[in-house]
Structure 1
Amino acid sequence: MAGTIVLYATPEHLNSMLTLAKFIVKHHQEVDVTILSTASTSAAASFAAMPSISYHRLSGAATPLPNHVTNPVELYFEIPRLHNPILLEALEEISKKSRIRAFVIDFFCNSASEVSKSLNIPTYFYVSSGGYGLCVFLYFPTIHETICGDIGVFNDFLEIPGCPRILSSDFPCGMHFRESNVYKHFLNTAINMGRSDGILVNSFDALELEAKVALVKDLCTPKSKTPPVYFLGPLIPEINSNNGATEHECLKWLDLQPARSVIFLCFGRRGMFSADQLKEMAVGLENSGHRFLWAVRSPPGIPRSPSQEEPDLDAILPKGFLERTKDRGFVLKSWAPQKEVLSHESVAGFVTHCGRSSTLESLSFGVPMICWPLYAEQKMQREFLVEGMKVALRLEMTYDGFVTAAEIEKQVRELVESEKGNQIRLRVAEMKNFAKAAAENGGSSVVDLEKFVRCLN
């Protein structure tokens, strides 16, 4: 196929889009892929090493940002909109050298569809939040029309085709209040997604089959036909043996632990907890009696160590905790080589914030989860993992998200010691095999990729 597929991502979703690019060219070496983003070139350098992938940073003087835009999520939508004139120039320049067969945009780049449509370029959305998440977004205009008032104060379960029941308060905060600008961005994006040429999803059939059936049957877009949907996952970055992670001290520690004995706690680059919550977590882990590997960040307002680069664990954690648990616990300062840890045979479970990339990594390596959502769509993802996929346990928390030591101890023991935990482990082991099969030649995701490539003119 002569021509180019252009992928456009915000910095927030660039890693996932880069992994999509590598998946495409791995199975279709005749396809050239160009990635556009406002992120620095260095951010993509390690991912775009394949000859068929090129990276272009949208740089230059974008339209000034309005003073009233301060909400971070609103910024994710607004920055691509303000770069539309620069995007237009980039697409026109690419078109001089190669025909653009498809323009694939991430959720926050919704406004870019105005540019691609003006150039008559087929426009596709890439949804990194999975099949269940896509069902929610496509059904959102229907929710908007049928619920009077704000979702945030509706306080009831919502029935969405293809999904487990979702409590209205578990929707992302940006979808709670219909007069907010973020809500309007979500709604407009959902409408445009339903009118696009197709939707690429970071998932695989066996993981979210109910969702895919609902999408194929147009149940999430009751007033129109759903665009073609392609499940192309699990898209996760490969483990890079040359990045030094295999030499990380925590991996050496894991080598000394029994198989499937360690609970891993890691909450992404934005996962931060109060000082009180960190102490509660420490007590729960200590009382559980199980081994643990825990990545700890400094809580807001707490000074770091004199180096100002790492948290002061002695100041953050309960007195004597590190000494008492030194034979069965390992506490990391801020960062953990997550993929390498999850792939280690000593890991028995993963306490996660339910970020999509983290959960797909966990499933791909066969690690059951305990859900501790923190922000964005993570409360919805918790329901998908616990009720839909049945690959995780939930932590009960107060209205403001606080989790007690007793609850942490309870769920760690439940995952490791109980029959319910065993059933989840068996389910996750199945998903690991299905995930591997989906991404191999003849697998469901490779078949869907073939359908997508064939449909391009």
Structure 2
Amino acid sequence: MIEPLLDREDRSYHQSLQFSLDLRKCDGVLTNTFDGLEPIALMAITNGECVTDGPSLRGSFSREQVKEIAYGLERSGQRFLWVLKIPPVDNKSKEIKQENLVWNDFDLDELMPEGFLERTNNRGMVVKSWAPQVAVLRHQSVGGFVTHCGWNSVLEAVSAGVPMVAWPLHAEQHLNKAVLVENMKMAIGVEQRNGDRFVSGAELERRLKGLMDSEEGRDLRERINKTREMAVEAWREEGSSTTALAKLADIWKHDHGCKLVD
């Protein structure tokens, strides 16, 4: 069970409890996926074999981990765009509530290894604000995506045909990583240290090179491009997602007893 649900004083506990109660009132659930991506999971949902999960959490890194990411990016030799929105949280200050954190309120020069920004300014960019992720992933220059495996990010990468390095932090992200790496084979997973799940710069460097420069990476790219085509087909006139949405609209149109639960 994820940490917020173990603490009955945490706001997420009450939100998750209310969500679970409301879910029992629903006749169905709209979910952002498509038949070709995960047919086994969708069949399980259809047959009532799934239970709810959540809520998801925003993740943050320690200062030590941020420096290791910088080392890995620099040593990989790859061009990169690194979006770092949330201030690092060291182990001693984990009691700070996520809602009290101020995004972008940190000094990149102080946070990064000495000279990192200068040494990499001709092939990389570190952004400490929001970035248009969908637009970035769909840009032709993007060849890979290091992701924490939140489901929205996974779908955006699949729809753009961009293979992934899977680095989960919290909640269902670890399950998503397992599916992406072992089942769908559209991502390379990082090895995390037992206990604190720390990832070394050398490990990140190895995975980035594997994604961008190896036969395995080329296989991943070919496989995810085929899945991207399936995503496009799902939204064509008679595609699986279009058909499912039309059926739902028809139910709403003719079933006056159907209502949305807020």
What is the TM-score of this pair, normalised by structure 2?
0.80
User: Which residue of 1 is the match for residue 96 of structure 2?
Assistant: none
Residue pair 1:298, 1:316 contacting (<8 A) in 2 also:
no
User: Which residue of 2 is the match for residue 70 of structure 1?
Assistant: 9
> Aligned-pair distance for 1:300?
2.0
Distance in 1, matches of 2:220 and 2:233, equals: 20
> Aligned-pair distance for 1:326?
1.0
User: Which residue of 1 is the match for residue 127 of structure 2?
Assistant: 332
1:269 and 1:285, CA in 2 relative to 1: closer, same or farther beyond 3 A? farther
1:269 and 1:209, CA in 2 relative to 1: closer, same or farther beyond 3 A? closer
> For 1:54-65, what aligned pairs fall within 5 Å after superposition?
none
Residue pair 1:293, 1:331 contacting (<8 A) in 2 also:
yes
User: Which residue identity is paired with 2:49?
Assistant: C
> For 1:333-348, what aligned pairs fall within 5 Å after superposition?
333-348=128-143
User: Which residue of 2 is the match for residue 49 of structure 1?
Assistant: none
Aligned length: 231
> Aligned-pair distance for 1:213?
4.0
Are 1:357 and 2:152 counterparts?
yes
User: Which residue of 2 is the match for residue 211 of structure 1?
Assistant: 41
> Aligned-pair distance for 1:73?
3.0
Distance in 2, matches of 1:309 and 1:390, equals: 34
Are 1:202 and 2:32 counterparts?
yes
Are 1:402 and 2:198 counterparts?
yes
| Residues 131-178 of structure 1: CA deviation (Å, up to 9, x unaligned) | xxxxxxxxxxxxxxxxxxxxxxxxxxxxxxxxxxxxxxxxxxxxxxxx
User: Which residue of 1 is the match for residue 49 of structure 2?
Assistant: 220
User: Which residue of 2 is the match for residue 438 of structure 1?
Assistant: 234
| Residues 394-437 of structure 1: CA deviation (Å, up to 9, x unaligned) | 00001211001111000000000111100110111111111111
User: Which residue identity is paired with 1:110?
Assistant: S
Aligned-residue Cα RMSD (Å) equals: 2.6
> Aligned-pair distance for 1:71?
2.7
Distance in 2, matches of 1:418 and 1:309, equals: 35
Identical aligned residues as a percent = 42
Work out which structure has the larger RCO, using CA pairs closer than 8 Å and 6 or more positions apart in sequence: 2
Determine helix, strand or coil for the equivalent of 2:30: strand
Are 1:112 and 2:51 counterparts?
no
> For 1:276-425, what aligned pairs fall within 5 Å after superposition?
276-296=64-84, 297-300=86-89, 309-399=104-194, 400-425=196-221
> Aligned-pair distance for 1:206?
0.8
Distance in 2, matches of 1:113 and 1:76, equals: 12
1:74 and 1:350, CA in 2 relative to 1: closer, same or farther beyond 3 A? same
1:404 and 1:72, CA in 2 relative to 1: closer, same or farther beyond 3 A? farther
Determine helix, strand or coil for the equivalent of 1:293: strand
Determine helix, strand or coil for the equivalent of 2:35: coil
What is the TM-score of this pair, normalised by structure 1?
0.47
Determine helix, strand or coil for the equivalent of 2:144: strand
Determine helix, strand or coil for the equivalent of 1:386: helix
Gaps of 5+ in 2: 1-6, 94-101, 256-262
> Aligned-pair distance for 1:74?
0.7
Structure with the higher fraction of residues in strand conformation: 1
1:308 and 1:358, CA in 2 relative to 1: closer, same or farther beyond 3 A? closer
> Aligned-pair distance for 1:384?
1.4
Distance in 2, matches of 1:309 and 1:420, equals: 36
Distance in 1, matches of 2:172 and 2:141, equals: 30
Distance in 2, matches of 1:358 and 1:384, equals: 14
User: Which residue of 2 is the match for residue 156 of structure 1?
Assistant: none
| Residues 330-362 of structure 1: CA deviation (Å, up to 9, x unaligned) | 111132221121111111111011111111111
Distance in 2, matches of 1:384 and 1:391, equals: 9
> Aligned-pair distance for 1:451?
2.8
Residue pair 1:298, 1:312 contacting (<8 A) in 2 also:
no
Distance in 2, matches of 1:366 and 1:199, equals: 27
1:451 and 1:412, CA in 2 relative to 1: closer, same or farther beyond 3 A? same
> For 1:79-158, what aligned pairs fall within 5 Å after superposition?
81=18, 109-112=19-22, 123-124=26-27
User: Which residue identity is paired with 2:188?
Assistant: L
> For 1:12-91, what aligned pairs fall within 5 Å after superposition?
69-78=8-17, 81=18
| Residues 225-247 of structure 1: CA deviation (Å, up to 9, x unaligned) | x9xxxxxxxxxxxxxxxxxxxxx
Gaps of 5+ in 1: 1-67, 82-108, 117-122, 125-197, 227-267
User: Which residue identity is paired with 1:352?
Assistant: T
